[in-house]
Chain A
Amino acid sequence: MSATAMEQLYQQVILDHAKDPYGHGLVPPHEHGERVGESHQVNTTCGDELTLRVEVAQDATGQDVLRSVSWEGQGCSISRASVSVLSELVTDIPVADAERLGETFRELMRSRGVPLDEAAQDALGDATAFTGVGKFPARIKCALLGWAALRDAIVKAGVHEGVAQHDTEHEEDA
């Protein structure tokens, strides 16, 4: 691996998020009866554990929105940065948009390091920094752990709408 590939893997955005992550520390649920979902995920490779909590509320138009996303657990810089970036990205956006973002991120992880199109990159924002992870199959699971927890937590919050969920488990385990 060249220094370039290492730099692609550990982009400054990733190192910064890993060091000072967003959404770290589970937020206690509000008192307005919002729907709360929590997911516990284990990275079987290293035993790292992640608990992610979402709070879903309806906005003025009746749309389900992720009111808060928070998490705790230990992990490598890739997994910490990934859950940090996703927490920042999906807080206060509609659940359906968050699920679409998750699909886009999973697509990025399957791309073997090739950047996605511009629209996808715009949507992913800081999460495009994980493009280089796709070149390291052993680390894809690290980057996906948070997104797997998000998808599960949304289901546990009792939200049934959103985009169709594709079966991507085998890719995640690659």
Chain B
Amino acid sequence: MTQTVDPPGATSGLTDAELAAVRGDFPLLGRTLRDGRPLVYLDSGATSQKPDVVLDAERDFYTQRNAAVHRGAHQLAEEATDAFEGAREQVARFVGVASDEIVWTSNATAAINLVAYAMSNATAGRGGAAARRFVLGPGDEIVVTEAEHHANLVPWQELAARTGATLRWLGLHDDGRIRTDDLATVVGDRTRVLAFGHASNVTGAIAPVAELVARAREVGALTVLDACQSVPHLRVDLTALGVDFAAFSGHKMLGPTGVGALYGRRELLEALPPVMTGGSMVEVVTMESTTFAPPPQKFEAGTQMVAQAVGMGVAASYLEELGMDAVAAHEHVLAQALLDAVASVPHVRVLGPTEAVDRLATVAFVVDGVHAHDVGQVLDDAGVAVRVGHHCAQPLHRRFGITATARASASVYTTVDEIEVFREALSGVRAFFGLTADGGDGR
């Protein structure tokens, strides 16, 4: 099983020297904030910082290789194409798939929408007989979970609305984990798609991928994995996980913004009709009709985000060189430290699993009597950057009867010392708003 965090001791994680070297790779981490305060960046779940090698790769592309890819017989065009396709290989290898199974998208949201709109197109008759497996209609069901980021919920709501299919979902346990006790009834013969997040961007909980995939296969449903939160933090082998499609973004895995990837099993990408059409994705075009290029080009209409793709490829290689087992082991320590930190402060409640088992170093919490926005403001005053709000997961928050949480999320460059700064700042939040540590919350 590749989806779980290694238990402590399984690997050594990062030594202090290694961690210091990693931090030295990220120029932004060295900057200070107002009044010269050091930055404590605990918002990597929203977007990660970028190492020099990624920034250099983008600049190097523009200064040395920039040309249109997949066309032109000149040397620059060849080098640009090599860089672009080389990046695809790097990303594909990183997640354990073949490079022609990786489609560049502008981000993970675009990747999920690509699948949903391609299914719409299949439903509208595009893609011929091969695409019939993607046709949806009344009586068909799409299943998601209550933990989903809006990016893995709204596209399916919309697909259901366009096709007449029904959207259903798996609920959550009180600790935020996906309920599978009713899996056999929610995912059944009518289920055509099961879409779920590998790891929640709010609770940090890692989904029971094997169980969900097994059930989907039993009933012949396609699986779509939102792997945005897992790919930067765990060793993820999409082939071993056995999912049909997966989406992840560059900017959360130390890469640039503006680029993401869709993984699709080769035979599925071949059968799936395109969504964006135009240049670069065709074979033969006449005034009447067009034949399409094979995947992944079939899904990459127009000029692509070449420099960003190159950056994402380098980000994947950077993580690979650190070793994802070491990254996961380090982040396991961070998860424990974050959970200890919030547990040590009275009147702080965690939204998600409170043990560092099968979870990321992503901890959402509420401070009794203080709105998340106000919590974030006090932490910001200590130089601690956290996310506040619903984190694009309103149904998950509604499930727990709250509107907004604060969320601290770590990455490979985060240190335990930073989490101590966070803990100290958090311990002063209620006092700042005139609430006592041991009781009365005034609201």
Contacts and interface: CB of A to CB of B under 8 A. Distances in A.
Interface in B326-378: 370-374, 377-378
Nearest to A2: B35
A76 B403 contact: no
B34 A47 contact: no
Nearest to A45: B389
The winner among B33, B374, B378, B381 for most chain A CB atoms within 10 A is B374
B202 interface: no
A76 B381 contact: no
Contacts of B374: 10, 76-78
A49 interface: yes
B390 A47 contact: yes
B377 A9 contact: yes
B403 A74 contact: yes
Contact of A47 (B370, B377, B397, B442): B397
Contact of A1 (B370, B381, B397, B442): B381
A48 interface: yes
B373 A46 contact: yes
Interface string B397-416: 10000011000000000000
A78 B373 contact: yes
A123 to B, nearest CB: 27
Interface in A53-83: 74-78
Interface in A101-135: none
A15 B390 CA distance: 23
Nearest to A77: B374
B373 A76 contact: yes
The winner among A3, A48, A78 for most chain B CB atoms within 10 A is A48
A129 to B, nearest CB: 15
B403 A49 contact: yes
Interface in B369-396: 370-374, 377-378, 380-381, 388-390, 394
Given A15-B433, A19-B442, A46 B404 contact: yes
B434 interface: yes
B443 interface: yes
B403 A47 contact: yes
B390 A46 contact: yes
A75 B377 CA distance: 14
Given A46-B372, A46-B373, A47-B394, A77 B404 contact: no
Contacts, number: 63
Nearest to B373: A76
Nearest to B390: A47
Contacts of A45: 373, 388-389
Contact of B434 (A3, A19, A46, A47): A19
A3 B374 CA distance: 15
A154 interface: no
A48 B373 CA distance: 10
Interface residues of A, number: 22
A7 B35 CA distance: 15
B201 to A, nearest CB: 15
Contacts of A48: 371, 403-404
A92 to B, nearest CB: 28
Contacts of A95: none
Nearest to B378: A6
Contacts of B389: 45-47
Given A45-B389, A46-B404, A75 B371 contact: yes
Nearest to B403: A47
B93 to A, nearest CB: 38
A142 interface: yes
A5 B34 contact: yes
A46 B380 contact: no
A76 B380 contact: no
B34 A1 contact: yes
Contacts of B390: 46-47
A47 to B, nearest CB: 4
A139 interface: yes
Given A1-B381, A47-B397, A142 B443 contact: no
A139 B433 CA distance: 17
Contacts of B403: 46-49, 74
Given A77-B433, A136-B377, 7 more contacts: A6-B378, A10-B374, A10-B432, A46-B372, A46-B404, A47-B394, A139-B377
